[in-house]
Amino acid sequence: MTINTKSTYTPERGHFILLDFMPSAGVEIDKRRPALVISASEFNVTTGLVLVCPITSTIRENPFNVTIPNGHKVQGEILSHQVKTLDWESRRAELLERAPKRILNEVLGRLMAILNN
């Protein structure tokens, strides 16, 4: 008998997900934590990878961080400057909730500012 251990969940752009960031090195974010998915679903399905911006509960004065407004299951700041590409199945991705469109657009705008400078 074969047991299917593959998840039926596939991350989509704009999802807040929970996943493992270990191992990490230096000043990289670590541990199991929420993140915002910024890659397109087609990329995620085709590659088995996901591009995410990690979320921290530590509020800092950083112009690239985007604060998640109150009233959401996920709280904290999205670290737009710490984009990660991760294997979402191996990192045990779980859907938490969908991010507001305004927040996703703000993060994508900060990424464009980083890339265009």
| Structural domains in the chain plus CATH codes | 15-116 (2.30.30.110)
Q: How do the residues of the chain divide into helix, strand and coil, expressed in percent and rounded to 5?
A: 20, 30, 50
Distance CA 98, CA 16 (A): 6
Distance CA 49, CA 106 (A): 23
> Could you read off the pLDDT of 40-58 as tens digits, one per residue?
999 999 999 999 999 999 9
Band (2; pLDDT cuts 50, 70, 90): very low
> Could you read off the pLDDT of 57-107 as tens digits, one per residue?
998 889 999 999 999 999 999 999 999 999 999 999 999 999 999 999 999
Q: Which position has the token pair 């904290």?
A: 76
pLDDT at 27 over 70: no
